């Protein structure tokens, strides 16, 4: 199997652009596919914003920023990913969309050894793998937001993922990308979100019941438990729509009440109050 040097990413949102930066800064040839021509410019702006953030914080030089940006191309046609060795699917956390994208990629990729990686936060990988003709080469590669900053990546293989695929991706993520890796069983939510989401939902229920306002809940956890961010600010950062989707996937699999998304969370999602990415969630953002 050839070395992974050509990476594709489907989706130019927050996670897709973050993964693109991680790969580009490691010297890889990166191609980002978006859903429409009108999405090309916004996707590029997100990547530039990520790189400029690194420049301001002193993590990269101006020359390194420009070099990384030069390694990334943006396209509006999945067919442009045909020559990729590894493709990350980073579309919205809805199973139907992910199945459609993975099924299409499976038919497009020229390399028989090419790997399809889903950045899903919660959907069992085996359900996604069955949409392809190469289920042994489908794996979950779950980055955390912000991907260029947070060091952890979860690797999730289904019952059909081969150890060769696992080893190849683990070597790439840990060795080439420089991330810390944990392996997770193929259960909804995996390791991190199976622990995190009930905590976030409990915080939402506190606000919903009138027990405590968001500011008090967050202050209690940051100052009382030394958490770097309170649960409600964290939910806003993740995206309340994403939190709700993960909760629903967890409840579908385990049928445990602690995974049920509270009505307040669902109404906020219905109202478009999705958190920091739209400027308003449990807090307002400039």
- Tens of pLDDT along 96-134? 999 999 999 999 999 999 999 999 988 999 999 999 999
| Proportion of the chain in helix, strand, coil states, percent, rounded to 5 | 50, 15, 35
Res 260: pLDDT? 96
Kindly name the residue from 17, 118, 119, 121 that is annotated as catalytic.
121
Among candidate residues 92, 95, 86, 195, the one with its CA nearest the CA of residue 141? 86
Summarised one tens digit per residue, pLDDT across range 72-103 is 999 999 999 999 999 999 998 889 999 999 99
Tell me the mean pLDDT in the region 187-201.
95
Q: Taking the CB of residue 86, how many other CB atoms lie within 10 A of it?
A: 26
Domains assigned to the chain: 6-184 (3.40.50.720), 192-278 (1.10.1040.10)
Kindly name the residue from 142, 158, 170, 245 that is annotated as catalytic.
142
Tell me the mean pLDDT in the region 169-177.
97
115 φ/ψ angles, rounded to the nearest 5 degrees: -110, 140
Residues above pLDDT 70, as percent of the chain: 100
Could you tell me if 4 and 172 are in contact, meaning their C-beta atoms sit under 8 angstroms apart? yes
Residue 254 has pLDDT above 80, yes or no: yes
Cα 104 to Cα 11, 100, 130, 258: the distances in Å are 14, 6, 12, 36
Could you tell me if 43 and 12 are in contact, meaning their C-beta atoms sit under 8 angstroms apart? yes
Kindly name the residue from 17, 119, 193, 245 that is annotated as catalytic.
193
Kindly name the residue from 21, 89, 93, 154 that is annotated as catalytic.
154
154 is known as an active-site residue:
yes
What is the rounded CA–CA span in Å between residue 86 and residue 8?
6
Residues above pLDDT 90, as percent of the chain: 92
What is the rounded CA–CA span in Å between residue 72 and residue 221?
39
Could you tell me if 166 and 155 are in contact, meaning their C-beta atoms sit under 8 angstroms apart? yes
Length of the chain: 286
Query: The tokens of 65 are what?
Result: 């920023």
Residue 54 has pLDDT above 90, yes or no: no
Query: The tokens of 6 are what?
Result: 């050509």
Tell me the mean pLDDT in the region 149-164.
96
Q: Predicted confidence band at 1 (pLDDT cuts at 50, 70, 90)?
A: low
Tell me the mean pLDDT in the region 205-222.
98
**What are 33's strand-pairing partners?**
10, 75
What is the rounded CA–CA span in Å between residue 17 and residue 80?
17
Res 58: pLDDT? 85
119 is known as an active-site residue:
no
142 is known as an active-site residue:
yes
């Amino acid at each position: 199997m050839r070395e992974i040097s050509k990476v594709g990413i489907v989706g130019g949102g927050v996670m897709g652009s973050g993964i693109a930066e991680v790969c580009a800064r490691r010297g890889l040839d990166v191609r980002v596919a978006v859903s429409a021509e009108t999405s090309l410019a916004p996707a590029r702006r997100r990547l530039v914003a990520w790189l400029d953030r690194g420049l301001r914080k002193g993590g990269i030089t101006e020359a390194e920023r420009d070099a990384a940006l030069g390694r990334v191309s943006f396209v509006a046609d999945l067919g442009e990913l045909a020559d990729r060795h590894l493709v990350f699917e980073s579309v919205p956390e809805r199973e139907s969309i992910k199945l459609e994208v993975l099924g299409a990629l499976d038919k497009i990729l020229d390399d028989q050894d090419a790997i399809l990686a889903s950045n899903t936060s919660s959907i069992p990988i085996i359900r996604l793998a069955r949409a392809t003709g190469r289920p042994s080469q489908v794996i979950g590669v779950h980055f955390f937001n912000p991907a260029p900053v947070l060091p952890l990546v979860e690797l999730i293989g289904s019952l059909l993922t081969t150890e060769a695929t696992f080893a190849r991706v683990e070597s790439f993520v840990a060795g080439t990308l420089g991330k810390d890796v944990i392996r997770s069983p193929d259960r909804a939510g995996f390791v991190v979100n199976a622990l995190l989401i009930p905590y976030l939902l409990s915080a939402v229920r506190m606000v919903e019941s009138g027990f405590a306002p968001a500011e008090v809940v967050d202050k209690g956890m940051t100052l009382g438990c030394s958490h770097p961010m309170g649960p409600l600010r964290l939910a806003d950062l993740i995206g309340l729509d994403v939190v709700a989707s993960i909760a629903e996937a967890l409840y579908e699999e385990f049928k445990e009440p602690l995974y049920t998304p509270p009505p307040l969370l669902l109404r906020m999602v219905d109202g478009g109050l999705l958190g920091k990415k739209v400027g308003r969630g449990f807090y307002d953002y400039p």
